[in-house]
Amino acid sequence: MSEIQFQDVAMRFRTRDREVRALERTSLTVPDGQFACIVGPSGCGKSTLLNVAAGLITPTEGEVLVDGKPTTEPGADRGMVFQSYSLYPWLSVRRNIEFGLEIKRVAKPEREKISSELIRLMKLTGFADAYPMALSGGMKQRVAIARALANDPQVLLMDEPFGALAALPRQVMQELLTDIWQRYRKTVLFVTHDIDEAVFLADVIYVMTTRPGQIRNTVPVDIPRPRTFDTLGTDAFARIRKQVTGYIHEESLRAVESELRVEASG
Amino acid sequence: MSERVPATRSAPAPLAPTARRRRGFLQTYLTPKASIPPRAVLVLGAGSFVVIVVAWTLLADLIANPFFLPSPLTVVQAEVDMIQNLGFLGDVAWSTFRILAGFLLAAIIAVPLGLLMGSFEAIRAFFQPAINAIRYMPASAFIPLLILLQGLGENEKITVIWIGVFFQLVLMVMDIAQRVPSEMLNVAYTLGATRATVFRKVLLPATWPEVVDVLRITMGWAWTYLIVAELVAANAGIGNFILVAERYFRADRIIAAIISIGILGLMTDYLFGLFHRWAFPYVEKNAPNTGRRLFRGGR
């Protein structure tokens, strides 16, 4: 049982002349083993939500509970994957994956067992001793995901992990991720601005409003698993995709209108 | 040379000599940012030396006065004479010793301090303003003061080099540590690392390649300060040798000594380059950092 719970989390920044509300009070619960996606227009605070969950930033209000326990600092129970991969260039693929285990002082045979398994699952066979510079973007991100999974976290936080990839490797990565998720059944909170990606991956999609962000719709995705490339052609996929796109579209219009109002008054 | 990634890597290999499309001379050599054949790079590089030597020879012929401008051949003869009869290698040894002492003493303090300054804002806030101010005081201007304080011995020369290198090096190392992407650190935190572990296992290893780069650059500056210190007052060393040669109107020896310094500089630079490739095989060769590309060009 490892659910993640946001309780009235709000974020405000103070600039020189005014207070910026980045995130309105937000509460949401991702139950154990669920794959939840957050989508929203850029600047809506979806990454803020993730960083708060990771413990990398402290919210102005509210708190995040993992299994009912409040989190204040980053910890190994919440693994994170960033868009920029952030691999350690001086470590081989294997040692990147084992980084968290090394910190925990896991014995070497055990470390190697775990990393070998992940290298196989993440289709990195033959690259165990390669340095990150030799890898493609998709491979780098597979190493980053393997590194997070090796630590066996309770929750996996993913901040637009495939945002820097081209369309084709991105689709392949999404398929790989659903397979991996089916196997490990981690609780996942996945931030993206790609609607297709969210529909393909998620059990539930949270659509956020423009800044100051809050959750405006909760869209359950009842497409059966396992999902494959063929899932993209189903009616259910098209229906949910249209629904979410509609919400985002409304939000984008609202954003444009509010920008115009600011222009007119300023 | 061998470490350079050939710029033509992505171009498809020609199938057969007859199938290759010939491009015009102007199109090959005067397309902005386009790469030229590797052989042409070599020829042009060697050509610059040929041009210098030829122009120098012509000029020396024109002036026809070896007191002012000896010919290249005279300079080579002077160099051989200096090594065989004047103990020039002893001067080289003295200068090298001073450089190493001053440079190592500067690096031993500057690298740790710079890393700490780049990592911890409290330490940076304390040291940076003062170091920034001192950085603009030329090391050579300290020489008279140092002679008053330390006399004419080795300490004075080593201190000049130390002043010239230390303050620049600290700030360059600080900058490297500051530029380590914060996401690299954040990943480590989410993998369960403590702050001490993040410093030791992420921040430090992330800076090493670039630290070696700036050591390589500041080493070149150390030579400048050394010669200035030796020119002012010394009883051995390349700078002192130049000063003595001037008293005897031996322009050939001066030029030979200057060229020797250039060769020594090139050698240390080459050693640093070898070390870098050996120690950091994971660094992307075309990474746009601290002038590595610039410094590689000469070899």
The per-residue pLDDT for range B40-88, each reduced to its tens digit, is 999 999 999 999 999 999 999 998 887 888 999 999 999 999 999 999 9
Task: For an interface test with B, give the residue of A80, A85, A86, A159 to mutate (most B CBs within 10 A).
Answer: A86
Q: pLDDT exceeding 90 applies to what percent of chain B?
A: 67
In B147-181, which positions are buried (b, 16+ CB within 10 angstroms) versus exposed (e)?
beeeeeebebbbbbbbbbbbbbbbbbbbebbeebe
* In the predicted structure, residue A49 carries a pLDDT above the cut 80: yes
> Chain A: nearest CA to B88, how far in angstroms?
43
* In the predicted structure, residue A63 carries a pLDDT above the cut 60: yes
Please name the residues between 105 and 134 in chain A that touch chain B, using a CB distance below 8 Å. Answer: 131-133
Residue A175 token pair: 């398929």
Q: Write A113-118 long-range contacts (CB < 8 A, 24+).
A: A114/A150, A115/A146, A115/A150, A118/A146, A118/A149, A118/A150
Region A156-182: mean pLDDT is: 92
Q: How far is CA B254 from the centre of its chain?
A: 22
Option in A89, A99, A133 nearest B191 (CB): A99
Task: Say how far apart CA A157 and CA A180 lie, in whole Å.
Answer: 15
What lies within 8 Å, CB to CB, of A45 at 6+ separation is A11, A22, A23, A208, A211, A212, A213
Task: Say how far apart CA B149 and CA B205 lie, in whole Å.
Answer: 40
Give the SS3 label for residue B270.
helix
Decide if B144 touches A, using CB distance below 8 A: no
Region B103-112: mean pLDDT is: 96
Strand order in the sheet with A155-159: A78-81, A155-159, A187-192, A35-39, A204-208, A215-220
CA distances B239 to A79, A149, A180, B70, B232, Å, are 60, 61, 68, 20, 8
Binning pLDDT at 50, 70 and 90, where does residue A42 land?
confident
> Chain A: nearest CA to B80, how far in angstroms?
46
Decide if A164 touches B, using CB distance below 8 A: no
Task: For an interface test with A, give the residue of B179, B180, B191, B285 to mutate (most A CBs within 10 A).
Answer: B191
Q: Which of A140-149, B8-17, B118-127, B163-172 has the weakest average pLDDT?
A: B8-17
Decide if A135 touches B, using CB distance below 8 A: no
SS3 assignment for A159-224? ECCCCCCCHHHHHHHHHHHHHHHHHHCCEEEEEECCHHHHHHHCCEEEEECCCCECEEEEEECCCC
Mean pLDDT of chain A: 91
The per-residue pLDDT for range B125-177, each reduced to its tens digit, is 999 999 999 999 988 899 999 999 998 888 999 999 999 999 999 999 999 99
Decide if B195 touches A, using CB distance below 8 A: no
* Cβ neighbours around A63 below 10 Å, total: 15
The answer to whether the CB of A198 falls within 8 A of the CB of A39 is: yes
- Cα dihedral sign, A140-A145-A146-A151: positive
Q: pLDDT exceeding 70 applies to what percent of chain B?
A: 88
Residue A240 token pair: 């949910």
Option in A86, A103, A133 nearest B192 (CB): A103
Task: Say how far apart CA B75 and CA B57 lie, in whole Å.
Answer: 11
Q: Which of A235, A111, A99 is nearest to B200 (CA)?
A: A99
The answer to whether the CB of B212 falls within 8 A of the CB of B280 is: yes
Task: Say how far apart CA B124 and CA A166 lie, in whole Å.
Answer: 41
Decide if B198 touches A, using CB distance below 8 A: no
Option in B181, B184, B282 nearest A131 (CB): B282
* In the predicted structure, residue B13 carries a pLDDT above the cut 80: no
Cβ contacts of B188 on chain A, cutoff 8 Å: 99, 103
* CB spacing of A89 vs B283 below 8 angstroms: yes
Cβ contacts of A79 on chain B, cutoff 8 Å: 190-191
Q: Which of B126, B116, B84 is nearest to B256 (CA)?
A: B84
* CB spacing of A78 vs B282 below 8 angstroms: no
Task: For an interface test with B, give the residue of A50, A80, A154 to mutate (most B CBs within 10 A).
Answer: A80
- Would you state the pLDDT for residue B235? 83
Cβ contacts of B208 on chain A, cutoff 8 Å: 90
Decide if A246 touches B, using CB distance below 8 A: no
Q: Which of A54-58, A65-69, B75-79, B292-296 has the weakest average pLDDT?
A: B292-296
Kindly give the interhelix angle for B72-85 and B88-119, rounded to the nearest 10 degrees.
100
Task: Say how far apart CA A148 and CA A100 lie, in whole Å.
Answer: 8
* Cβ neighbours around B67 below 10 Å, total: 10
- Would you state the pLDDT for residue A134? 92
* CB spacing of A133 vs B191 below 8 angstroms: no
Q: Which of B224, B299, B296 is nearest to B261 (CA)?
A: B224
The answer to whether the CB of A71 falls within 8 A of the CB of A53 is: yes
* In the predicted structure, residue B15 carries a pLDDT above the cut 80: no
